[in-house]
């Protein structure tokens, strides 16, 4: 079974990291296939019409189930268990998980990833030239606003959406862990968020993320440190 469960992912893509964390939390074994979505012969192009990672393929009653992108993988993890794995039981907390999912899927990607990760990650990968100072500044200012919002949540709750670890934490960790690798998070300014992140970082699901290395860029000195 586990040999047929394959995650096609790019190690520094936030949604790909969310999928790895979620499969780890749900204790689902999987093989990994590292992909480069920007290359013409990338297997993603035949698996997902949108051409994006992560994609999980799973054998199901003699057929292959192809789960395209993080939301489909997260949804399948819930469906498969016929119960709440990474979703709280409480209706109010479920609403909060979904609000935060929308926040990350639109606002965080538009304001931060599409600016700051584009400059620091996509440009070197796609050989688009050096980062632009103005864009770096803009992305960092936007990141501060989002981190302040998340600090408020982490200060008042055990996990981002409430009393238990949920999809919202793993979605947030997918984005923040990539930014952290590039040294973009000044944790000292966000003490509650730092505590939240350190709890997540200590979980077994997180281990493989800490050994990822981006070509030509060493991780921030505290990236792999559990007591950062």
Q: In the complex, what is the shortest distance from the CB of residue 46 to a second copy, in angstroms, rounded to a whole number?
A: 14
Q: In the complex, what is the shortest distance from the CB of residue 178 to a second copy, in angstroms, rounded to a whole number?
A: 17
Residue 78's nearest CA partner among 88, 68, 93 is 88
**166 contacts: CB under 8 Å, gap ≥ 6:** 86, 87, 88, 93, 97, 159, 160
Q: In the complex, what is the shortest distance from the CB of residue 67 to a second copy, in angstroms, rounded to a whole number?
A: 5
Q: Which helix (H) or strand (E) holds 32?
A: strand 31-34
Query: CB–CB of 38/126 below 8 Å?
Result: yes
Q: In the complex, what is the shortest distance from the CB of residue 20 to a second copy, in angstroms, rounded to a whole number?
A: 18
Looking at beta carbons only, is 80 or 203 nearer to a second copy?
80
Task: Report helix, strand or coil for 8.
Answer: strand
Report the alpha-carbon distance of residue 131 to residue 134 in Å, rounded. 9
Report the interface residues with a second copy, using CB under 8 A.
48-50, 60, 63, 65-72, 75-76, 79, 91-92, 94-95, 98-99, 101-103, 105-107, 109, 149
Looking at beta carbons only, is 47 or 116 nearer to a second copy?
47
Looking at beta carbons only, is 61 or 127 nearer to a second copy?
61
Report the alpha-carbon distance of residue 194 to residue 172 in Å, rounded. 13
Q: In the complex, what is the shortest distance from the CB of residue 95 to a second copy, in angstroms, rounded to a whole number?
A: 5
Looking at beta carbons only, is 168 or 201 nearer to a second copy?
168
Length of the chain: 228
Looking at beta carbons only, is 103 or 214 nearer to a second copy?
103
């Amino acid at each position: 079974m586990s040999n047929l469960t394959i995650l096609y992912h790019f190690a520094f893509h936030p949604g790909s990291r969310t999928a790895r964390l979620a499969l780890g939390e749900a204790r689902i074994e999987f093989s990994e296939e590292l992909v480069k979505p920007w290359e013409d012969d990338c297997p993603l192009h035949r698996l997902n019409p949108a051409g994006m990672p992560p994609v999980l393929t799973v054998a199901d009653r003699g057929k292959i189930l192809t789960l395209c992108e993080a939301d489909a993988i997260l949804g399948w993890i819930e469906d498969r268990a016929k119960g709440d794995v990474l979703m709280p039981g409480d209706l109010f907390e479920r609403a909060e998980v979904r609000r935060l999912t929308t926040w990350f899927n639109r606002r965080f990607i538009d304001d931060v990833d599409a600016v700051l990760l584009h400059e620091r990650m996509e440009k070197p990968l796609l050989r688009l030239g050096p980062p632009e100072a103005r864009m770096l500044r803009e992305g960092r200012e936007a990141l501060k606003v989002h981190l302040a919002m998340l600090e408020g949540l982490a200060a008042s709750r055990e996990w981002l959406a409430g009393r238990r670890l949920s999809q919202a934490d793993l979605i947030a960790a997918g984005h923040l862990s990539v930014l952290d690798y590039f040294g973009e998070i000044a944790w000292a300014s966000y003490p509650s968020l730092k505590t939240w992140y350190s709890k997540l970082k200590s979980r077994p699901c997180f281990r493989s993320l800490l050994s990822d290395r981006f070509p030509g860029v060493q991780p921030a000195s505290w990236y792999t440190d559990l007591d950062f």
